[in-house]
Amino acid sequence: MKKIVVVLTALLFVGGLVGVALAADTLADVKKKGVLVAGVKDSTPGFGYIDEKTREIVGYDVDFCKAIAKRLGVKLELRPVTSATRMPQLIAGNIDIAAATMTITPERAQQIDFSYTYFFTGQKFITVKGAVKKLSDLEGKKIGTAKGSTSEQNAKKALPTATVLSFDDYPQALLALQQGKVAAVTTDESILANLLSKAPDKEKYEIPAEIRISDEPYGLGMRKGDKNFVDFVDATLLEMEKSGEAKKIFDEWFGPKGKSGIVLQRTFKITAGK
């Protein structure tokens, strides 16, 4: 019995440690350390991906981190995160800021703080060309997406009778579509556009323009209650919009001659407000 108590106590202790996060002032800490640790995606083209030539992580998200680090006068350290790991990493203090294509949601906002929206997109579908005319055509079908994202929840809400299959990552979901295992792949338009641009048989598929099931404002994630840092980042974003730097970054990655090959319209402006 004694042993069991000891083991349980140890387990609780370890459990407690997992939950520990330093409720400190990140802005001051980062300046003291001289380095800003940013969590970014490393396999989401356009936003955060590994450049084939330089072997470095580059992208829209990365450039925003660079701009923030520059204004802080510190070095930038990039750490790869995934949709499933970005929040735990942030809360545990392994990263200072998460710039990882993260949609601002009320549920997430209970756990972390978000900056103003720095990118805006919506959730759409890739389907076989001509197969889907309206959203209800997908009712009762299998829909593929990736784990740990908001895409899955939106799809379940919009299509209650559809079966949503969550794969480990988007390329697998696309493979399932190519093999006829799912009727559509769903997630944010920017991710879909990129996924499709790389498919060898892309002419067989389309992203129906009229079918959109959500608004996806992306925010930079920071630890809850870290007010100084959040204020600093928000001010930086507004400044970048005003100076045209934000638009320049957008065009660099998603413009007609953008580096990512994904062409998107900039239908938003960074403003005060989530």
Partner 1 sequence: MFNYKFDWAIVTSGKYFEWIISGLGITLELSLVSIALSFILGLIIAVMRMSNVRPIRWFAHGYLEFFRNTPLLVQLFFWYFGSYKILPKVINDWLNTMSFEFAAAVIGLTIYTSAFIAEDIRSGVRSIPKEQMEAARSSGFSYIRSMLYIILPQAVRITIPPLINQFLNLAKNSSLAMTIGVAELTYQARQVESYTFKGFEAFTAATLIYLALSLVITGLVTLYSKKVLNPIGAR
Site residues (vs partner 1, CB under 8 A): 15-16, 18-21, 23, 83-84, 87-88, 91, 107-108, 110-111, 144, 147-149, 152-153, 165-168, 172, 175-176, 179-181, 224
Residue 205: which of 121, 122, 132, 123 has the closest Cα?
Answer: 132
Closer Cβ to partner 1, 67 or 230, answer by number:
230
User: Distance between CA atoms of 246 and 164, rounded to whole angstroms?
Assistant: 35
- Nearest-approach distance from CB 50 to partner 1, in angstroms: 22
Closer Cβ to partner 1, 221 or 255, answer by number:
221
Q: Which residues of 27-66 are buried (b: 16+ CB within 10 A; e: fewer)?
A: bebbeeeebbbbbbbbebbbbbbeeeeeeebbbbbbbbbb
Closer Cβ to partner 1, 62 or 91, answer by number:
91
Q: β-pairing, 48-50 with 57-58?
A: antiparallel
- Nearest-approach distance from CB 258 to partner 1, in angstroms: 30
User: Distance between CA atoms of 250 and 47, rounded to whole angstroms?
Assistant: 10
If you search the block for the tokens 């769903």, which residue do you land on? 186
Closer Cβ to partner 1, 69 or 90, answer by number:
90
Closer Cβ to partner 1, 63 or 188, answer by number:
188
- Nearest-approach distance from CB 162 to partner 1, in angstroms: 13
- Nearest-approach distance from CB 197 to partner 1, in angstroms: 21
- Nearest-approach distance from CB 181 to partner 1, in angstroms: 5
